[in-house]
Amino acid sequence: EVQLVQSGAEVKKPGESLSISCKGSGYSFTDYWINWVRQVPGKGLEWMGRIDPSDSRINYSPAFQGHVTISADKSITTVYLHWSSLKASDSAMYYCTTAHPGGFDYWGQGSLVTVSS
């Protein structure tokens, strides 16, 4: 069974750093890109970027470039989303997702990040 399991909810202060994770299982982890998607409560979906776990090629959305870092550790089939200095506006649900051929699309359960002083 293909699964993406994300790390739990986080509460942080502005200026703090944070990494959240997404662990893939049940498939060949290096075969498919993994995307990160943000959803501010009550708002729409925003594509943040993606990583190819086989060689760590990364594409960022211009809206998020320079504010987050995406990385992967294929040895433990995990990708990360990292902030070095959080802002209140980073408060949101974050999803990892991967698309496989034939319309098979998998999403993590989401990681809720709350940034508040």
Partner 1 sequence: EIVLTQSPATLSLSPGETATLSCRASQSIDYYLAWYQQKPGQAPRLVIYEASKRAPGIPARFSGSGSGTAFTLTITSLEPEDFAVYYCQQRTIRPPLTFGGGTKVEIK
Contact residues for partner 1, defined by CB under 8 A: 35, 37, 44-47, 49-50, 59-63, 95, 97, 99, 102-105, 107-110
Least distance in Å: CB of 16 to partner 1?
Answer: 26
> Which residue lies nearer to partner 1 by CB, 14 or 40?
40
Which residues on adjacent β-strands are paired with residue 21? Answer: 80
Shortest distance in whole angstroms from residue 35 CB to partner 1: 7
Query: Is-contact 109 7, C-beta < 8 A?
Result: no
Q: How far is the CB of 63 from partner 1 (least distance, A)?
A: 8
Q: How far apart are the C-alpha atoms of 12 and 15, rounded to whole Å?
A: 9
Residues 6+ apart with CB under 8 A from 77: 23, 24, 25, 29, 53
Nearer Cβ to partner 1 (4/18): 4
